[in-house]
C-alpha cells in the first residue's frame, strides 16, 4: 500500500527500469571508481578546509573554543565541519 502510494507519485518502477536497462561495460566495478571517489573526497576536503580556516584557531588555548564556535555559532559551520569530517573518513 505504501509502495503503491509512492509509485503513483514518483514512478519508482519506471526509474528503476530505466537505470537497470543501461549497458555497463564488464570492466566497470567499484575499483574502477576509486580514483574518482578519492579525487572528489580530496576536493571536498580542500573546499571545506578552506571554509573553516576563517574560524579555526590551531593553538593549544584556542582550538577547542574555535571548534565550539564553528559548531554552534558560525553560519552552517556544523554542516561544513561534519562534511569535512565525513569526507576525511571515506
pTM beyond 0.75, yes or no? no
Q: Rounded to an integer, what is the distance from CA 22 to the centroid of its chain? A: 25
Contact assessment for residue 66 and residue 56, using Cβ atoms and an 8 Å cutoff: yes
Question: How far, in Å, CA of 50 to CA of 13, rounded?
Answer: 42
- The secondary structure of the chain in percent helix, strand, coil, rounded to multiples of 5, reads 70, 0, 30
Compute the chain's Rg from CA coordinates: 21
Q: What is the pLDDT of residues 11-69, one digit of tens each?
A: 889 999 999 998 888 888 888 889 999 999 999 999 999 999 999 999 999 999 999 99
Residues 6+ apart with CB under 8 A from 83: 44, 48
Amino acid at each position: 500500500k505504501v509502495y503503491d502510494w509512492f509509485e503513483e507519485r514518483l514512478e519508482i518502477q519506471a526509474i528503476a527500469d530505466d537505470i537497470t536497462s543501461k549497458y555497463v561495460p564488464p570492466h566497470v566495478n567499484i575499483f574502477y571508481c576509486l580514483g574518482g571517489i578519492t579525487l572528489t573526497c580530496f576536493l571536498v576536503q580542500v573546499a571545506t578546509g578552506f571554509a573553516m580556516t576563517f574560524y579555526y584557531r590551531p593553538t593549544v588555548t584556542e582550538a577547542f573554543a574555535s571548534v565550539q564556535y564553528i559548531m554552534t555559532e558560525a553560519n552552517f559551520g556544523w554542516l561544513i565541519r561534519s562534511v569535512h569530517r565525513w569526507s576525511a573518513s571515506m
